[in-house]
Amino acid sequence: MELLQGCKDEMEWAKMSSYLAVQDYKTPDYASIWENVARLYFELRRKGITVRSNIDCAIAIMAMENNLILYHRDRDFEAIAKYTVLKQKKLNLTITG
């Protein structure tokens, strides 16, 4: 969702959509994901960090629970990583033709 909504034009949307269509996906444990997301947001706020989106917290939780490296272009993930076990790498890239 976040990747697609960040597309700049139809061509970038088509490329991103095609890329995403063939990826493997992790499904959250719906019994615990939202409480874990809320706890992460709460704990970060207590440390003076306000994440701009609870969806970012959900993405971070999924990455941490599945021991994945989160590649991103979002400063919130760098802040989350300072206070958690989130493995992340900020990307500097542009999708080109």
Per-residue model confidence as pLDDT tens digits over 45-76 = 999 999 999 999 999 999 999 999 999 989 99
Task: Round the average pLDDT of the chain to a whole number and report it.
Answer: 91
Question: Per-domain residue ranges for the chain?
Answer: 29-97
| Domain 29-97, CATH class in plain words | alpha beta
Q: What is the DSSP string of 21-88?
A: HTS--PPP-TTTHHHHHHHHHHHHHHTT---S-HHHHHHHHHHHHTT-EEEES-HHHHHHHHTS--EE
pTM here is: 0.80
User: What mean pLDDT do residues 19-42 have?
Assistant: 93
